[in-house]
Amino acid sequence: MLKAAAPPRSNVLAIADAIAFHEAIGAERKLARLVALRDRWARRLSQNDRVRLWPSLAPGRAGAFATFGIDGIKPADLAAHLWSKYRIFVVAITHPQFEGLRVVAYLVPSANGSKYEGRNVTFWSKGDEATVTWMDRELKCSARRAES
């Protein structure tokens, strides 16, 4: 007999904060920001003739995620390349009707700035500074000012 594992306590303890955050910013603003993030990469990528996008990027169709495929490249191979070269995490999808990579951005509560999380990765930005955390390793970035 298989037993289901209990969810991590952190997930349970975070529910109240997640609901409060969602109610504070509102579903419309949250969705608009996530769609803007998705469109930033998806619209550029879709300009290439070899790229296929699912679902449509038309308003009201996809929300915060999109799946893309590149003709002639296996999704698992591209996922491995994106991870090994750029540390970009995506999910390879193989379906009878299409194959591609699922990309999702998650907006999470932040007292200041913007914070997005995916599996094992966090991106936080405020002003001219940003921090990327992956697997407990942290990279801090800041904009360079032109010297006068």
End-to-end CA distance of the chain: 71
- Do 25 and 45 lie in a common domain? yes
Query: Which residues of the chain carry a pLDDT beneath 70?
Result: 1-14, 105-114, 116-121, 123-125, 127-128, 134-135, 142-148
Is residue 4 in a domain? no
Q: Cα(93)–Cα(79) distance, rounded to whole angstroms?
A: 10
Can you give the pLDDT at residue 75? 92
Domain membership of residue 134 (yes or no) is yes
**pLDDT value at residue 109:** 56
Residues 52 and 97 reside in one and the same domain: yes
41/47 Cα distance (integer angstroms)? 11
pLDDT for 74 equals: 92
Q: Among residues 127, 101, 130, which one has the least CA distance to residue 116? A: 130
* pLDDT at 100 (0 to 100): 92
Residues in the chain: 148
Query: Phi and psi dihedrals of 130, rounded to 5?
Result: -145, 150
Domain containing 136 equals 110-148
Is 1 within the bounds of a domain?
no
> Taking phi first (over 0 means left), then psi (-120 to 50 degrees means alpha), and beta for anything else, what does residue 79 get?
alpha
Q: Which two tokens stand for residue 140?
A: 């801090």
Q: Look at residue 26 in the predicted model and tell me its pLDDT.
A: 78
Q: Of 13, 97, 116, 7, whose CA–CA distance to 55 is shortest?
A: 97
pTM: 0.55
| Residue 98 near residue 107 (C-beta atoms within 8 A) | no
44 and 91 part of one domain: yes
